[in-house]
Structure 1
């Protein structure tokens, strides 16, 4: 009798374990399906609309830049400079929250989501590069417009001065090229992971927390985000005698390449390959 009870208990445990594994597989499939569907919907957006959305994202992400400049200007001379740079993590997420929840087209937030329909055979590499090109162009234009606007206004409001703009941009550029590139891969990886996590979130508060958590890590680590970095370095180029247009362009190329690899390969490719090798029938 006891032997039968033990066998029954063992059977029940195995059944529960199997049920849990099935639930995990189904949840993974569901998230992947949502991400692929989201990417497919972006591919359907007209060129003009996606470009305008990307320009808006470039403008909105500028509020992260505004706040880190204001924080540096406020605390400069009162705290160690390295401490101030770490405190950027508290305000860095603001622009990302505005962009992501507002559904504007931000390159790094869409890198992995656009890669998945290509990996799934629904879209071509050519279509992927077309969307990436439009989004990057719009983000860069929006960022430049914000830099020109805020660099004119901020000194008159006492938010920060041109010296602060140069200091922030110089801090972004002071690394060797290989460090900047690897750092951009980490930032792209985190942003790709953010999109995956957002597709598993059920409510707005959870989504805000996830955006804050991931982008705060980018801000605290000083990892290089191409679109925020575009604003930071372009501003320094405008007001510095030592930072050239080539420095700005070289940074942009390295950061975009690094972000692309981090988002599309580390997250998009790996996440899809896990599904394909373990879950796909």
Structure 2
């Protein structure tokens, strides 16, 4: 939020503005925004809640203020919104751009135009010709006259708002401007009372149980999973790839530690003791929130099962992460195979892991992968059911220890083991892919998705989103199969929920 000495709106709202809400509403909120601005995207969801709550008492106005030096896609996205406005669908494009802020390339904009039913040829011509640049420049000029130098910047009934850029503070400022005492009282009441008994994260997911503070219900665990899943879907391909690459390298530490300790322990139980170090990489990945196929990519299945996110989006996330994971694991395996990091004893143990994997039959690998996928999905569920770091750590260590101890296989750690064996010249890459990676990955997916469906979905089918109508979130079957759209199942924050005592008279 910019802070200027100018405190009033220089250019009043006119017919040329893009507005939501009645023209005679007692309250007017003007936003100068940027479609490529992360803060604007965060406030987009808060503004939706505020508009829903105030209804006909608020007129919302959006004006363009693309920060082209900081946000390379801002201007073209603004032009796309204006091209949609020329066909009567500004707000449809406005919402779509914020819901897919990580994908604002030229081809993405044309795809969105088709999704909201625009004449795509006209849309493309107007973008290429820069037809709407003048309109955007006028918005920018009006913002500059009002002292706007950053986004988002808001004006409430013509007066600049310089408070915190967050839902509660903005709603309270609007309520104060409109003398909506009931809303002001409800905000203060929740700040004082409800937040002392229940905490929620920024996304709205519960941080404490409602019935029992230190224990979550199945519905509350599901809400936490939903928040995590939505975060995964919102990540750009670049961020997913880099995080996945880091996770693949972290898996190498599991392989290194397990091999070295197994070789160093001169006991019959050396293998069992070595397995205690199998969770090392998983601790780094889960606690550090890296992207590892199965651990961090199973939670989005919850949104696909409820038809809120599309299969295409899920496959995009899975594809980027698994490629990055395998590259990271391959790099680590190559370094270990090509250098003297391993002692001769540890190298022999490491080779034995890969040799054992190749000696295991295709269907045996598949079903071992199924059970490993079950364990991983159970770990994901329990991680979201726990509140303390120590508890999460113990869950990861105990459950991941079960995978090698019961001779099961995880596709990424197993890939590191077999690739090490391949880089030593013992097998081919094609054999490693077809005879190991394919069956284990399929098994992990089947086992993990089944448990996700069993635990995360069926237990919570009646009360998945307590503050939203699920029917409003669901995609059509066509969108579910191949679109990039998402229902954005945000759990409404405490301050935006109505208290049980509130009625329509509050407003």
Question: TM-score normalized by structure 1?
Answer: 0.83
Partner SS, residue 270 of structure 2: helix
- For residues 43-98 of structure 1, the C-alpha deviation after alignment (integer angstroms, 9 at most, x for no partner) is 000001101100000001111100111123324xx444xx4333332110111001
Give yes or no for the alignment of 1:230 onto 2:420: no
What is the alpha-carbon distance in structure 1 between the residues aligned to residue 455 and residue 262 of structure 2? 38
- For residues 92-113 of structure 1, the C-alpha deviation after alignment (integer angstroms, 9 at most, x for no partner) is 0111001110110011102430
Between the two proteins, the alignment pairs up a number of residues equal to 253
Partner SS, residue 298 of structure 2: helix
Where does 1:1-281 land on structure 2 (aligned, <5 Å)?
A: 23=211, 27-75=217-265, 78-80=266-268, 83-153=269-339, 155=340, 158=343, 160=345, 162-241=347-426, 243-250=427-434, 251-276=436-461
What is the alpha-carbon distance in structure 2 between the residues aligned to residue 181 and residue 136 of structure 1? 17
What is the alpha-carbon distance in structure 2 between the residues aligned to residue 231 and residue 212 of structure 1? 19
Partner SS, residue 244 of structure 2: helix
Distance 1:111 1:262, change over 3 A: farther
Distance 1:157 1:119, change over 3 A: closer
Give runs of ≥4 in structure 1 deviating > 4 Å. Answer: 22-26, 159-162, 278-281
What is the alpha-carbon distance in structure 2 between the residues aligned to residue 108 and residue 222 of structure 1? 18
Question: Shift in Å at residue 120 of structure 1?
Answer: 2.0
- Mapped contact 1:111–1:260 kept (Cα < 8 A): no
More strand by share: 2
TM-align CA RMSD: 2.2
What is the alpha-carbon distance in structure 1 between the residues aligned to residue 341 and residue 384 of structure 2? 42
Partner SS, residue 309 of structure 2: coil
Question: Shift in Å at residue 129 of structure 1?
Answer: 0.6
With a CA cutoff of 8 Å and minimum separation of 6, indicate the structure with the bigger relative contact order. Answer: 1
Distance 1:150 1:50, change over 3 A: same
- For residues 157-205 of structure 1, the C-alpha deviation after alignment (integer angstroms, 9 at most, x for no partner) is 6375543332220112221111110000111111111111011111111
- Mapped contact 1:64–1:91 kept (Cα < 8 A): yes
Distance 1:118 1:274, change over 3 A: same
Distance 1:126 1:86, change over 3 A: same
Greater mean deviation of Cα atoms: 218-227 or 23-32: 23-32
- Mapped contact 1:112–1:264 kept (Cα < 8 A): yes
- Mapped contact 1:87–1:220 kept (Cα < 8 A): no
Question: Shift in Å at residue 127 of structure 1?
Answer: 0.7
What is the alpha-carbon distance in structure 2 between the residues aligned to residue 173 and residue 152 of structure 1? 21
Partner SS, residue 199 of structure 1: helix
Distance 1:200 1:259, change over 3 A: same
Question: Shift in Å at residue 240 of structure 1?
Answer: 3.9
More helix by share: 1
What is the alpha-carbon distance in structure 1 between the residues aligned to residue 295 and residue 255 of structure 2? 17
Unaligned residue ranges in structure 1 (runs of 5+): 1-21
| Larger Cα-atom Rg | 2
Distance 1:152 1:240, change over 3 A: closer
Distance 1:87 1:30, change over 3 A: same
Partner SS, residue 110 of structure 1: coil
Unaligned residue ranges in structure 2 (runs of 5+): 1-209, 467-507
